[in-house]
Amino acid sequence: MTVPYLSLAIWVPIFGGLLTLFAGKDRNAPVARIIALLTALAGFLITIPLYTGFDTTQANMQFLEVLPWVQYFNVSYALGVDGISMPFVILNSFITIFVVVAGWEVIQEKVAQYMAAFLIMSGLTNGIFSALDGVLFYVFFEAALIPMYLIIGIWGGPNRVYAALKFFLYTLLGSLLMLVAFIYLFQHSGGSFSILDWHAAPLSMREQSWIFFAFLASFAVKVPMWPVHTWLPDAHVEAPTGGSVVLAAIALKLGAYGFLRFSLPIVPDASQYFAPLMITLSLIAVIYIGFVALVQTDMKKLVAYSSISHMGFATLGFFMFNQLGIEGALVQMISHGFVSGAMFLCIGVLYDRVHSRQIADYGGVVNTMPKFAAFFLLFAMANAGLPATSGFVGEFMVVLGAVKYNFWIGFAAATTLILGAAYTLWMYKRVVFGPVGNHHVAELKDLNAREFLFLAVLALCVLGFGLYPLPLTEVMHATVDELLRHVANSKL
């Protein structure tokens, strides 16, 4: 009998979260923390066989699990991963550990609910990445909004209610249109909700265009693409550190993943037709949002805008329809998961001590926190795309792909290397270097063991994938090949 790894990856965190909720009342927060940490670790260990047991030569879905769910509508509980989704399942489970550890001391209020929300969210996110049934995907996709809404709203900053609601309604609007598209596809694919059946469903250009825009409404908000990105800075600024990490490292990837799983294969002709539009929007995100990031005075907002800019790179890579572009975009997304997560954790480290995110409130941090400054520098460099960090690999591949597609697009995309360096390093300079800015900075204590540990692990990941990205690209290769072959075949 085969072990249902994917089901475990989904349900272990969810049940662990519920257990945390019931075991940890406000009195016994330590119990809640320990259960949460054990669940997160178990959740990560479960996903390791997904990598070790993965057959990199195959392009089709692996670790399949299919059970009937709502038989009347042919909805099934179908799970499976390919080279595109598998790394994200592992990334998500991995990041969850950091989220739990990052909230260890900082969160003192409703600890059990905090931990439970993140664990449940992690399970649901694994569900999104591994669902092979449209309804199942949608159910996970929507349900994951609920814990995030609560996380921002309960543990967030002063303007949290506005941010939480904006986040929720923006994302819900897109998903609802996608739902209509799903039902439409159900009726035009011979009554099936299987995503793989939809890949093969014949659709006219008119149908494809409508469906493309319904998907775009949902995924563009999630990515987020310009001009529907405005929820992200609000949500990031108000979310607690853990929330920001999950948003940046995981939630943004859902939209991009949606393009690969739904838009490109289901409506290939519309995707090709509207590619110039998508490329334009992506370039606007890369360049314009890069400039916006430059003028931010709030560190979290700056990193939030830099995330939008980096995700613009990912969508740019997808819509050039070549191997380098798509693989580069995927590498970029994984790397961004580590780097942006690490950046938010670094800002969290500062925020926990000074309770300010304003760049102006810092200065000369290196004098009091040398170890922290070293880690922060590494992550800032990775964010700017320095060679030998994971940030470089993805960006370089996408730029190569873009140049192949069209020189000027590649040229425009490459400006991100300059812009990224500008806003990240300028921020780094103002926060870390110079004379000690004020008495808060003078009283700072350097990293404690817990913080050192999680930053060190992330630093290893960033450097590791920067120097040797093969383990990552190798699992994607066959799937991306197959995807490109599929997209090249017109459905008309």
Partner 1 sequence: MEFQIPNFAPAAAEIFVAAMALVLLMVAAFARPGGGRCAAFWVSQITLLVAAVLSLPVDWSAGVWEALSNSEGGFAMWLLSWLASGKVTFTFGLSFLSDPLGGMLKSLVCLAVMAVLLYGRRYLNDRKLETPEYYVVAICATLGMLVLISASSLLTIYMGLELLSLSSYALVAADRDNPRATEAAMKYFVLGALASGLLLYGISMVYGATGTLDIIEVARGLYEQQVNRTVLLFGLVFVVAGIAFKLGVVPFHMWIPDVYHGAPTSVTLLISTAPKLAAFAMAFRLLALGMWDLAPQWQKMLMIAAVASIVLGNLAAIAQTNLKRMLAYSGISHMGFMLLGLMAAKGSPHDLFNAYASSLFYVVIYVLTTLASFGILLMMSREGFEAENIDDFRGLNRRNSWWAAMMAIVMLSTAGLPFFVGFFSKFFVLQAVLSAGHLPLAVLAVLMSLVGAFFYLRIVKVMYFDEPTDDTPVRASRGFGLVLSSNVLAVAVLGIMPGWLMNFCVLILRSSFG
Q: Where on the chain is the footprint of partner 1 (CB under 8 A)?
A: 68-73, 75, 110, 113, 135, 138-140, 142-143, 145-146, 149-150, 153-154, 160-161, 164-165, 168-169, 172-173, 176-177, 179-180, 183-184, 186-187
Least Å distance between CB 70 and partner 1?
4
Least Å distance between CB 156 and partner 1?
9
Q: Measured from the CB atom, is 231 or 338 closer to partner 1? A: 231
Phi, psi angle pair for 194, to nearest 5°: -70, 130
Tokens standing for residue 117: 């929300």
Q: Measured from the CB atom, is 176 or 484 closer to partner 1? A: 176
Q: Measured from the CB atom, is 125 or 282 closer to partner 1? A: 125
- Rounded CA-CA distance 144/119 in Å is 11
Tokens standing for residue 458: 């992330």
Least Å distance between CB 176 and partner 1?
4
Phi, psi angle pair for 324, to nearest 5°: -60, -45
Tokens standing for residue 441: 């900075």
Least Å distance between CB 488 and partner 1?
30
Least Å distance between CB 363 and partner 1?
34
Task: Give the bridge partners for 79, in sequence order.
Answer: 65, 131
The letter for the amino acid at 189 is S
Least Å distance between CB 71 and partner 1?
6
Q: Measured from the CB atom, is 164 or 419 closer to partner 1? A: 164
Least Å distance between CB 53 and partner 1?
28
Q: How many helices (H) and strands (E) does the chain have?
A: 24, 2
Residue 105 CA from chain centroid, whole number: 25
Q: Measured from the CB atom, is 71 or 489 closer to partner 1? A: 71
Q: Measured from the CB atom, is 180 or 467 closer to partner 1? A: 180
Report H helices in 188-274.
195-200, 205-222, 231-238, 241-246, 252-258, 264-266, 268-273
The letter for the amino acid at 254 is L
Q: Residue 199 in 3-state DSSP?
A: helix
Q: Measured from the CB atom, is 23 or 425 closer to partner 1? A: 23
- Rounded CA-CA distance 456/249 in Å is 17
Which helix (H) or strand (E) segment holds residue 422: the answer is helix 407-432
Q: Measured from the CB atom, is 83 or 240 closer to partner 1? A: 240
Least Å distance between CB 456 and partner 1?
35
Which pairs with CB-CB distance under 8 Å and at least 24 residues apart come from 455-461? 455/342, 455/345, 455/346, 455/349, 455/372, 455/375, 456/375, 457/98, 458/98, 458/338, 458/341, 458/342, 458/345, 458/379, 459/342, 459/375, 459/378, 459/379, 461/338, 461/390
